[in-house]
């Protein structure tokens, strides 16, 4: 246990659960609990989705939810939808709207099979997503949406995850000025978190190549109190959440595609732009990639987490 009754181990287990479920949504159409060796037939015929953003989203969501259970969460890079969906499923929020999203094998199958599937869930956050007010398909609007949602609602606590690629857009960058327009007595608290995973689709981000000093000065110039945290250090993340002030701006560093494959066909994946979409695109036909996928899934030891989480009707 840590400070205010926060259980670091529980947060880390939730992150593992949601990472597994993010990968499973992208790849699996069967054998969701890996009860038998993974086969080509278990892999979806058309691999769609974005892995790279998911681990950082899962880290941010788990840390924020543990500390602020009633927060409103706004996701800038809506392409990281498998992670958002995994968290909504984990908390039972999805079940409230989709009764098939039960906390057992049936629910896991439902969530995975329907990701990016005709008549299922889209590959991005969408109006079908419970609580969504920013779709995120077009980058740039997350911070403005957060400040808008806070207007006239002093009781609200709004967290917003901004992609570092997203923050290169004019809209997101100009939205950094909005903190100057909100009277904290009349409006809700907005906590911005920059998801500094260093890469956008196929290249490094400007902020990923900036020095810490440049980053801190940039956000200080906009009137924030910036603080840098290593997202992979849950204890450090919780320490920062324990000492927020109205101007805190969190810069959360994670390697893009963290916990995913390190290298595929000689190309660096984890911590590189190559993690952005589907890191093992030939998993349905290439035995080596299938084996890598199986090892990747097994690395989360999901079975242990599943037994804690699931109930069977
Ligand atoms: C306005 C806009 N420009 C370009 C794109 C294309 N696009 C999709 S994802 C992406 C990279 C996003 O990078 P980042 O915000 O850092 O998110 P990450 O996946 O790295 O977490 C881009 C440029 C877009 N969706 N919207």
Spell out the domains of the chain, with CATH numbers in brackets.
8-309 (3.40.50.970)
Convert the pLDDT of each residue in 255-276 to its tens digit. 999 999 999 999 999 999 999 9
Structure token pair of residue 72? 């409103």
Give CA–CA dist 202/205, Å, rounded: 9
Question: Across the chain, where does the E strand assignment appear?
Answer: 72-75, 157-163, 189-196, 225-230, 248-253, 263-264, 267-268
Are 252 and 167 a contacting pair, CB within 8 Å? no
Query: Nearest residue CA, atom 17 of ligand 1?
Result: 163
Query: Nearest residue CA, atom 19 of ligand 1?
Result: 53
Q: Give ligand 1 pocket residues (Cβ under 6 A).
A: 52-53, 77, 79-80, 137-140, 163-166, 169, 195, 197, 199-201, 205, 256, 276
Query: Nearest residue CA, atom 11 of ligand 1?
Result: 200
Query: Nearest residue CA, atom 18 of ligand 1?
Result: 53
What are the backbone angles phi and psi of residue 311, rounded to the nearest 5°? -130, 145
Gyration radius of the chain's alpha carbons: 19
Say which residues have a Cβ less than 8 Å from residue 241's Cβ, sequence separation at least 6.
Answer: 63, 64, 67, 68
Convert the pLDDT of each residue in 94-147 to its tens digit. 999 999 999 999 999 999 999 999 999 999 999 999 999 999 999 999 999 999
Instruction: Report the candidate in 185, 160, 189, 200 with the shortest Cα–Cα distance to residue 74.
Output: 160
| Ligand 1 centroid – CA 173 distance (Å) | 14
Query: Nearest residue CA, atom 25 of ligand 1?
Result: 138
C-alpha 305: how far from chain center? 19
pLDDT of residue 269: 98
pTM > 0.95: yes
119 by Cβ neighbours in 10 Å (0-12 / 13-18 / 19+) ranks as: exposed
Convert the pLDDT of each residue in 166-220 to its tens digit. 999 999 999 999 999 998 899 999 999 999 999 999 999 999 999 999 999 999 9
| Ligand 1 centroid – CA 172 distance (Å) | 12
| Ligand 1 centroid – CA 166 distance (Å) | 6
């Amino acid at each position: 246990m840590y400070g205010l009754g926060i259980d670091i181990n529980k947060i880390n287990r939730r992150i593992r659960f949601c990472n597994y479920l993010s990968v499973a949504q992208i790849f699996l159409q069967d054998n969701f609990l890996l009860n038998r060796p993974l086969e080509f037939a278990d892999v979806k015929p058309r691999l769609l989705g974005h892995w790279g953003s998911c681990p950082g989203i899962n880290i941010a969501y788990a840390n924020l939810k543990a500390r602020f259970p009633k927060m409103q969460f706004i996701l800038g890079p809506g392409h990281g939808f498998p992670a958002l969906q995994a968290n909504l499923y984990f908390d039972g929020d999805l079940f409230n709207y989709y009764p098939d999203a039960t906390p057992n094998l049936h629910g896991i199958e439902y969530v995975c099979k329907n990701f990016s599937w005709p008549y299922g869930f889209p590959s991005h956050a969408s109006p079908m997503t419970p609580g969504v007010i920013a779709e995120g398909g077009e980058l740039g609007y997350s911070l403005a949406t957060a400040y808008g949602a806070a207007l006239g609602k002093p009781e609200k606590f709004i967290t917003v995850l901004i992609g570092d690629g997203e923050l290169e857009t004019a809209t997101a960058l100009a939205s950094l000025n909005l903190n100057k327009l909100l009277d904290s007595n009349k409006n809700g608290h907005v906590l911005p978190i920059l998801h500094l995973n260093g890469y956008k689709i196929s290249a490094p981000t400007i902020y990923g190549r900036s020095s810490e000093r440049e980053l801190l000065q940039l956000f200080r110039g906009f009137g924030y109190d910036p603080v840098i945290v290593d997202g992979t250090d849950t204890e450090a993340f919780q320490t920062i959440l324990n000492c927020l002030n109205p101007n805190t701006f969190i810069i959360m560093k994670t390697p893009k595609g963290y916990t995913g494959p390190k290298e595929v066909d000689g190309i660096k994946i984890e911590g590189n732009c190559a993690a952005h979409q589907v890191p093992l695109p030939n998993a349905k036909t290439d035995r080596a990639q299938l084996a890598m996928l199986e090892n990747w899934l097994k690395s989360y030891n999901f079975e242990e987490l599943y037994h804690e989480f699931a109930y069977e009707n």
